[in-house]
Chains A and B, each alone.
Chain A
């Protein structure tokens, strides 16, 4: 039973007044109660948020999510937003009519010039389900999978620096403290595998400038803590302290857990603190993961040809290729939300060299994952997302030569792509201007993207709410539009 529902059952009127008078005082107690009961209290009064109890609001098109976040923000200009006209504007100053006085980061606002840096990479036109899409030579495998992908060229965000940018994409708000996307999904739909967490995080170290990845990016914020993401490490022990220490048999651990459970249940009966139950659930999950994780991370049952398709690093734990294989295995086992991070796209300088390395690590495994999901029929109900936290500027940061340049942060427009889960395959959506600096058609904000993804998962973003500290919170805050134009 959901802990809030359990709490409501356990909280009698007599007990409520006794407890609040003893500990918090009636006023504070009332506020705390309102927070704890959240959507369920209102559900009882017929509130539309009642479906946050675990069923989707309407028939879902997707059952799970694989979200590939490119930490550092890859350059849309060098990968997917083809601007051949810029080749004739090499080293010209970015026109004021394009920049329009938009804010810059402190890293380039003091530059004397903003010279246009065309991409030095050749693009090819790959077949999709329209008239094709131009993709950089850095992403030949992704280009080859374009018939499965929905490119959104008109993504924009409010943040201009990494920490708030990633926080915004992951939690729907630039400031820390809100639940992450995966936590909302775990909260809204629950898990479909009792032996694995509903929300799993896999991280790959990159080749270039890496920003910090805070664990709060996959935290549960004010939602019960069992909804937070569980990070699997690339090591012999994928989950720290999961294995029993030497000398402790599994039966001993079981006996210990039973005793802890009995004691904690007494604590719960005394305090009705839902975090006690959450911690117990995590103990039990860890116990079951002792069995499920080794089977999950052992690729011995994979066809060697399949691993080869994911690229030469598919057998190297922690590589992006290995994490893509792992993502498919997690999806097969019913994990709701699989978050992949690939660090190192923050190419302020030396971009051509670094983006080659990053793309090489990413391109083949990502395309293989999409195609592997498709041929197994999993892509029909798995949403795959590729996104950075923002884009990069058309003008060069630092010195510009024909073969070397850097790009600063650019939140005004960038490219993301989606696949599967009822999203139209093989299309392009949105358009940027000739400099990939402003959006000229069909802008899509972060809340819009979140609303659309939740919609595909059967959840109305305006009804998936949680009351905390006296107000309703949701992933999309107070805005968000389902982008129906990209839905099949």
Chain B
């Protein structure tokens, strides 16, 4: 029964009757009353998707449905997924202290998207129990230097996005110094050209005649004498072959014959 309810919930979370995750990959589903497709959703339903993981952990995402939900609603909708999710997306929602208190109990969590949420240092401090968290998106949030302590203490964190998150250069520097292995992602400035070629000057030169003498006497494929009519241009040099078949074989993977060339 629980599984049936879960599948119904998944169906309600996805447009146009999507395929379902494999039953084996799904954890026991929470008993949340699904909304009928033809009615406005009565309960907040996240997108739930299996991730092809052997442990059956799933991705829970509120990007589509959670924008107008309150912190309390988000917390309530996330609660049934404690112990079942490795990724949670709360971007552009009103996730706050109540939601993050539930998030903190998702001990298996590896990726957490909090972009554009109102979270601050106090809420982030609640994430300390997440010892598996490797990826955290805090872009477009309102952090301050106090939030750094929370980030520094997340042991598995490998990548954090903090563009437009209120952290000044000194704070970023402190974070990088405290966790050198952590990729602290900000906006990367556009790369300036390293060099510009001179003005384009066009010229004719003596054409590389197709009949130009090959640089090799023996075919790089079979080692037999070269037929001057069977050539190709490779890395600026005319290469000869004993026959057309060898030229075709050579062109299929020229690099593998490089050692056979003079």
Contact = CB atoms under 8 A, between A and B. Distances in A.
A334 B47 contact: yes
Interface string A200-236: 0000000000000000000000000011000000000
A124 B193 contact: yes
A254 B165 CA distance: 42
Interface in B215-262: 231-236, 238, 247, 251, 254-255
B38 A146 contact: no
Contacts of A197: 15-16
Interface string A1-44: 11101100000000000000000000000000000000000000
Nearest to B202: A90
B181 interface: no
A458 B235 CA distance: 38
B49 interface: yes
Contacts of B231: 97
Nearest to B248: A100
Interface in A79-93: 84-85, 87-93
Given A55-B49, A281-B16, A100 B232 contact: yes
Interface string A107-125: 0000000000011111111
B51 A191 contact: no
Interface string A60-99: 1001000000000000000000001101111111011110
Contacts, number: 244
A376 B161 contact: yes
A278 B16 CA distance: 7
B17 interface: yes
Contact of B19 (A132, A188, A334): A188
Contacts of A126: 191-194
B91 A441 contact: no
Contact of A284 (B38, B186, B196): B38
Given A198-B15, A371-B188, A257 B38 contact: yes
Contacts of A141: 190
Which one of A98, A194, A227, A367 has the greatest number of beta carbons of chain B within 10 Å?
A: A194
A433 B234 contact: yes
B16 A143 contact: no
Contact of B20 (A5, A198, A376): A5
A192 B19 contact: no
B246 to A, nearest CB: 13
A228 to B, nearest CB: 10
B139 interface: yes
Contacts of A97: 210, 231-233, 238
Contact of B22 (A53, A190, A193): A53
A89 B202 CA distance: 8
B164 A440 contact: no
B180 interface: no
A144 B190 contact: yes
Interface residues on A, range: 35 or more
A297 interface: no
Most chain A CB within 10 A, of B20, B190, B254, is at B190
Contacts of A375: 139, 161, 163-164, 185-188
B188 A147 contact: yes
A285 B16 contact: yes
Interface residues of B, number: 74
A124 B199 CA distance: 11
A90 B200 CA distance: 11
Given A87-B200, A89-B204, A376-B115, A193 B21 contact: no
Contacts of B25: 55
B205 A88 contact: yes
A56 B50 contact: yes
B92 interface: yes
Nearest to B247: A100
A438 B251 contact: yes
Contacts of A6: 17
Given A55-B52, A334-B63, A441 B193 contact: no
Interface string A433-449: 11100101100000000
B16 A458 contact: no
B32 to A, nearest CB: 15
Contact of B17 (A196, A277, A334, A380): A277
Contacts of B81: none
B208 interface: yes
A57 B47 CA distance: 18
Contact of B18 (A54, A277, A377): A54
A273 interface: no
B161 A145 contact: no
Contacts of A146: 191
B260 to A, nearest CB: 15
B93 to A, nearest CB: 12
B16 A198 contact: yes
A144 B17 CA distance: 42
B172 interface: no
A58 B55 CA distance: 12
A95 B50 contact: no
A96 B17 contact: no
A57 B15 CA distance: 21
Given A51-B22, A127-B191, A434 B236 contact: yes
Contacts of B207: 89, 92-93, 95
B14 interface: yes
Interface in B26-49: 37-38, 47, 49
Nearest to A441: B255
B247 to A, nearest CB: 8
Nearest to A99: B210
Interface of A: 1-3, 5-6, 50-60, 63, 84-85, 87-93, 95-98, 100, 118-128, 132, 134, 140-141, 143-148, 186-198, 226-227, 254, 257-258, 261, 277-278, 281-282, 284-285, 288, 332-334, 367, 371, 374-377, 380, 402, 433-435, 438, 440-441, 458
Closest 8 CB pairs of A and B: A190-B18, A54-B19, A144-B190, A193-B64, A377-B161, A55-B50, A124-B193, A90-B202
8 contacts: A58-B52, A98-B232, A192-B61, A194-B14, A197-B15, A198-B15, A376-B163, A440-B255
